[in-house]
Chains A and B, each alone.
Chain A
Amino acid sequence: MTKSDKNCNNSDFIEKLHNPATQSAAFSTIVREYSERLYWHIRRLALTHDDTNDILQNTFIKAWNNIDKFRGDSQLLTWLYRIATNETLTYIGHKQIETVSLDSDEGSVANELESDPLFSGTHADALFHEAINRLPEKQRLVFNMRYFEDMKYEEISEILDTTTGALKASYHIAVKKIEEYVSSKD
Chain B
Amino acid sequence: MIDLVMLFLLVVCALVAIHIKDLLGSAVLLSAYSLIMAVVWTRLNAVDVAFTEASVGAGITTVLLIAAISRTARGEELMPRARHVLPGFVIIVVTAAVLIWGTLDMPDFADPNAPANLHVAPRYIEHSAEETGVINMVTAVLASYRGYDTLGETTVIFTAGLGVILLLRGRKR
Tell whether A and B belong to one assembly.
no
